[in-house]
Amino acid sequence: MPVQIVDALVQGGKASAGPPLGPTLGQLKVNIGQVISEINNATKDFNGMQVPVKIHVNTDDKSFEISVGTPPVSALVKKEAGIDKGSGNPLTDKVADIRIEQVIKVAKMKSESLLGKDMFAKVKEVIGTCNSMGVLVEGKQASEVVQDINKGAFKEKIFTGKTELSAEDLKQLEAEKKRLQEEVVKKREQFMSTAKKIIEELTGKPRSQIKAKLVEAGIPTAIIDELLPAEAVGSAAGAVPPKK
């Protein structure tokens, strides 16, 4: 039987008959409303995330089957952590904290695409992604949690695949996320204040000299680029002009 495959990226639980999916399905003369309904039912657990789906359409009898992929590990971590994006400076700025049960949940959802030979290794892979996003696990840095796992911590939870959290756990995580994000804002304000003072003191000096001083003071690159953009460089000498 001739089968045509339609690939799409939809928002979990919110696929619509609009472009590009609707017109493509229309050309294949399948029941668009039924396809959309089944996609939304199959992806509802990924609310707020982009989910890859494949619609296998039998072009003879217009029947179809839907297969649903899973979002990237980073997207699943963001959902579990309740954040829109990871940290801009994950080494120093932590934006959320999640429990090992949530890591296990992500590892189970992405099991087929992770490289680890068993669930313990796959959990460590997910923890590595958390680290690159500035997300703590059990209140600790990724390297510490991996060491704990190597020593036998969380063995039963990982082995049994425990993924549920209590209402109290969720409440604590929300409070911790708020605290961490307030710290990020406070740190940024401190860095901004220090950077502006340095720039003011070195007004008229070559940009390279000012940048070196900012780096020496530990100012994050993103803030340096924000306060000392290349466009502000003086024409010939590369000096930052004094403020008028």
In single-letter form, the type of residue at position 97 comes to D
Model confidence at 243: pLDDT above 80? no
pLDDT band with cut points at 50, 70 and 90 for residue 232: very low
Q: Can you list the pairs that 59-63 forms with residues at least 24 positions away whose Cβ atoms lie under 8 Å?
A: 59/2, 59/3, 59/4, 59/28, 60/1, 60/2, 61/1, 62/28, 62/29, 62/30, 62/31
Q: Give the start-to-end residue ranges of the domains of the chain.
A: 3-68, 73-165, 183-232
End-to-end CA distance of the chain: 76
Report the share of the chain in percent with pLDDT over 70: 93
Architecture per CATH, 73-165 = Orthogonal Bundle (1.10)
pLDDT tens, 17-66?
888 888 888 888 889 999 999 999 888 878 778 888 999 999 888 899 99
Range 89-106 average pLDDT: 91
Pairing of strands 3-11, 96-98: unpaired
The model's pTM is: 0.66
pLDDT tens, 154-200?
999 999 988 888 888 888 888 888 888 888 889 889 999 999 999 99
Architecture per CATH, 3-68 = 2-Layer Sandwich (3.30)
pLDDT band with cut points at 50, 70 and 90 for residue 69: confident
Is the CB of residue 3 less than 8 Å from the CB of residue 56? Answer: yes
